[in-house]
Amino acid sequence: MNLTLKVWRQKHASTAGRFVTYEAKNVIPDMSFLEMLDVVNEGLITKGEAPIAFEHDCREGICGSCGFVINGVPHGPRRGTTVCQLHLRAFKDGDVLTIEPWRARAFPVVKDLVVDRAAFDRIIQAGGYVSVPTGSAPDANGLLVPKADADQAFDAAACIGCGACVAACPNASAMLFTAAKVSHLGLLPQGQPERDERARGMVAAMDREAFGSCTNMGECEAVCPKEISIAFIARLNRDLMRATFRGRRAARETAGV
Ligand code: SF4
Ligand code: FES
């Protein structure tokens, strides 16, 4: 099959970018999208041109490194699929595909399709951890977790931090990512000691970055390759409200009023 690619090319964060058209000729429908870009890049390198920069690592849909927008949709047209797991059979012979990086102020373009997602790291640093003794693995039944909580925590923990939710949101909000990270620890017994601090800290960190506010558009859930539910956003809002009230009460008690 043959595809026409209109790819965003940008040398550095400080230079202007533009779309450049490439032909992907005689590519195989069973190739992954990234394999097709590898083939295009081999052709560019052979001609002495700079290859298209894009991020990837596992190519198995588990690490969260890959991600760009294909024809306006983060990770492309297949629901619940990262771009590394997307195959060319999802497209038709002769299709014209526009490929561009995540567009969000909090994710500045580094080069071509690569964006800087360090803002997500700073949100995690603000509370995405538990302060419990680590070491050898505890007995599986040493700390009982209700099945429903374990299942929900597992669903939230599936977030791979790819950033597609931010790219799809008209406000470039990071609420789905933050909600998943706050929830997966907040649902487990090990996450209780820092639950309030975590919700307050991570939301404050998110607000400090250039992400927009959530207005319940639902675009994040629609493009999330791990199908994280926006119900976690409602859960985060409840956790944050609880943490805020408890924080104020504790401050009043400390002040003796
Ligand atoms: S919530 Fe989904 S789209 Fe957002 S970072 Fe996590 S895996 Fe990616
Ligand atoms: S390269 Fe790891 S999720 Fe795509």
pLDDT recorded at residue 49: 97
pLDDT score, position 137: 78
Closest ligand 1 atom to 120 CA: 5
Of all ligands present, the nearest one to the C-alpha of 65 is 2
Rounded distance from Cα 33 to ligand 2 centre (Å): 12
Q: At what angle do helices 118-125 and 195-208 cross, to 10 degrees?
A: 150
CA 125 to chain centre: 16
Rounded CA separation 122/224 (Å): 21
CA 1 to ligand 1 center in whole angstroms = 31
Q: Measure Cα distances from 121 to 25, 206, 242 in Å.
A: 39, 10, 25
pLDDT in tens, the chain (257 residues): 999 999 999 999 899 999 999 999 999 999 999 999 999 999 999 999 999 999 999 999 999 999 999 999 999 999 999 999 999 999 999 999 999 999 999 999 999 999 999 999 999 999 998 887 777 877 878 888 999 999 999 999 999 999 999 999 999 999 999 999 999 999 999 899 999 999 999 999 999 998 999 999 999 999 999 999 999 999 999 999 999 988 888 888 888 87
Per-residue model confidence (pLDDT) at position 157:
97
Q: Give the whole-angstrom CA distance, residue 225 versus residue 156.
A: 13
Query: pTM higher than 0.75, yes or no?
Result: yes
- Nearest atom, ligand 1, residue 163 CA: 5
Sign of the CA dihedral with 81 first, then 82, 84, and 89 last? positive
Choose which residue among 160, 166, 173, 221 to substitute to test ligand 1 binding: the one with the highest number of ligand atoms within 8 A of its C-beta. Answer: 160
225 class by beta-carbon count within 10 Å (0-12 exposed, 13-18 middle, 19+ buried): buried
Look at residues 153, 161, 156, 195 and name the one whose alpha carbon lies nearest to residue 57. 161
**CA separation for the pair 243, 257 (Å, rounded):** 19
